[in-house]
Amino acid sequence: MDNIPKKKEKDIFHPQATWISTSNVQIMPAMDLSDMHRLSGNINPNASYEKPGYKLCSYVERFIETDAGPVPVVKSDLNGKDIISTVSVRCGIRRHRYTVSPGLYAVGSPDRSSEVLVTGNFKLTFDHLRKALGSVSAWILVLDTKGVNVWCAAGKGTFSTMELVRLIRDGSLEKIVDHRRLILPQLGATGVTAGQVRNESGFRVVYGPVRARDIPLFLQNKRKADKTMRQVTFTFLERLVLTPVELHMAIKPTALAILVLFMLSGIGPGLFSFQGAWERGIISIGALFAGLVSGTLLAPVLLPFIPSRKFALKGIIIGSLFATVSMPFVHGGADSISAMASLFIFIVMVSSYLTMNFTGATPFTSPSGVEKEMKQFLPVQMTGVLVSAILWIYSAF
């Protein structure tokens, strides 16, 4: 029950419990409708899973009985709550707590010959999978990836061989299906050793396509993926949808940067001027937002077209272009060469840092490559910001 939040009035569901109280998070043992009818005369046995003070997660529609116990059946369509939550998570809101409980689920009306699809417990990933299975009846085995998507979880070690074996054993999967086959996401391959899974559980690993939407066709083709199913894409829309998260992650650093910029802008001939802090501070904040736009929006959108394989250098290139274009709107009354140079350098360094930060969201880099690039460019960015600050203070005298 690690994933049950302690806040009140939250839909929560555990695969081994039929009812969970939303008011005090008390778990009730699994029981069928006839059992509940005998326990409480005011419960309508024909009304699916209704009881005052208790409710299921909105994506669970019913249960099916198996030799290993009841298994929740999830809907393949997303409701309004799912869509709103998806938008929120895409904007970086509560994304680290957007999870489903690990365990076995079902979609459609699976039987003992139905496929077992493995995924992680990041609900955005879970939702993508169940939405793609509208025409498929299958079992879904959800691993505890600590609310992280499959690809990242495989790199972090939570989408792993041992976690997969543990869920197979805990869920008594051998009692539910006659075959001994698991279909894993291709992007989870780095975290799972197929031979070890077979030795320890008796189940054979088959790697499915990169994208969940290709699973129905993959199954129709007798579990064979064509070339397009194996290719990782990073299209314009796939890049654009990641920018709200990058902006959200920049909120706290931006707030701190604004405070520092106001303080630096107030330094002048009279030691410190509140009027100068305001007038010059607005100009420097304009430069900060220009860097934000360049690093979190322009760079991701134009990523394939910007020269260089190094993201920090891509940020410098696009930041320089955007700083040149936006300078007439940013500099305001700061007409001295030192002030203009300060603003230009600041925009470029902010753009470089934020673009480099985008590496974790792309298929273009490796963890070792990211680490190497950060060691190379962080000193450059820090030096650039320091030079910008010195020039900004000097321009006030």
- Report the pLDDT value the prediction gives residue 55, as an integer from 0 to 100: 53
Q: Which amino acid is at 164?
A: L
Contact indicator for 138, 104 with CB cutoff of 8 Å: no
Residue 42: phi and psi, rounded to 5, are: -95, 10
pLDDT at residue 140 is higher than 70: yes
> In 3-state terms, what secondary structure has residue 114?
coil
The sign of the torsion formed by the CA atoms of 200, 204, 210, 216 equals negative
Task: Report d(CA 297, CA 308) in Å as an integer.
Answer: 18
Q: Which amino acid is at 137?
A: S
Task: Report d(CA 48, CA 43) in Å as an integer.
Answer: 10
For residue range 299-339, list pLDDT tens digits in order: 988 988 999 889 999 999 999 999 999 888 776 656 688 99
Which helix (H) or strand (E) segment is 19 a member of?
A: strand 19-20
- Report the pLDDT value the prediction gives residue 292, as an integer from 0 to 100: 94
The tokens for 33 are 């409708």
Cα atoms found within 13 Å of the Cα of residue 60, Cβ hemisphere only: 25
CATH node for 59-232: 3.40.50.11600
- Report the pLDDT value the prediction gives residue 30, as an integer from 0 to 100: 37
Band of the pLDDT at 156, cuts 50, 70, 90? confident
- Residues 273-284 have a mean pLDDT of 90
Q: Output the DSSP codes for 75-88.
A: PSS--HHHHHHHHH
Band of the pLDDT at 394, cuts 50, 70, 90? very high
- Residues 8-14 have a mean pLDDT of 34
Q: Which amino acid is at 173?
A: L
What percent of the chain lies above the pLDDT cut of 70? 83
Cα atoms found within 13 Å of the Cα of residue 152, Cβ hemisphere only: 13
pTM more than 0.85: no
The tokens for 374 are 């950060």
Cα atoms found within 13 Å of the Cα of residue 92, Cβ hemisphere only: 11
Task: Report d(CA 14, CA 136) in Å as an integer.
Answer: 23
Contact indicator for 354, 295 with CB cutoff of 8 Å: yes
Task: Report d(CA 342, CA 336) in Å as an integer.
Answer: 10
Q: What is the DSSP letter of 124?
A: H
Longest dimension (CA), the chain: 85
- Report the pLDDT value the prediction gives residue 2, as an integer from 0 to 100: 40
Look at residues 62, 80, 82 and name the one whose alpha carbon lies nearest to residue 72: 62
Task: Report d(CA 94, CA 88) in Å as an integer.
Answer: 8
Cα end-to-end span (Å), the chain: 62
What percent of the chain lies above the pLDDT cut of 90? 52
- Residues 148-164 have a mean pLDDT of 90
- Report the pLDDT value the prediction gives residue 11, as an integer from 0 to 100: 35
The tokens for 362 are 């792309």
pLDDT at residue 177 is higher than 90: yes
Task: Report d(CA 88, CA 153) in Å as an integer.
Answer: 21
Band of the pLDDT at 43, cuts 50, 70, 90? very low
pLDDT at residue 261 is higher than 90: yes
Query: Domains of the chain: which residue ranges?
Result: 1-56, 59-232, 237-394
Mean pLDDT for all residues in the chain: 82
For residue range 15-36, list pLDDT tens digits in order: 333 332 222 222 333 334 333 3
pLDDT at residue 41 is higher than 60: no
- Report the pLDDT value the prediction gives residue 8, as an integer from 0 to 100: 34
CB atoms within 10 A of CB 201: 20
- Residues 365-370 have a mean pLDDT of 71
Look at residues 355, 335, 329, 341 and name the one whose alpha carbon lies nearest to residue 388: 341
Q: Output the DSSP codes for 260-277.
A: HHHHHHHEETTEE-HHHH
pLDDT at residue 126 is higher than 70: yes
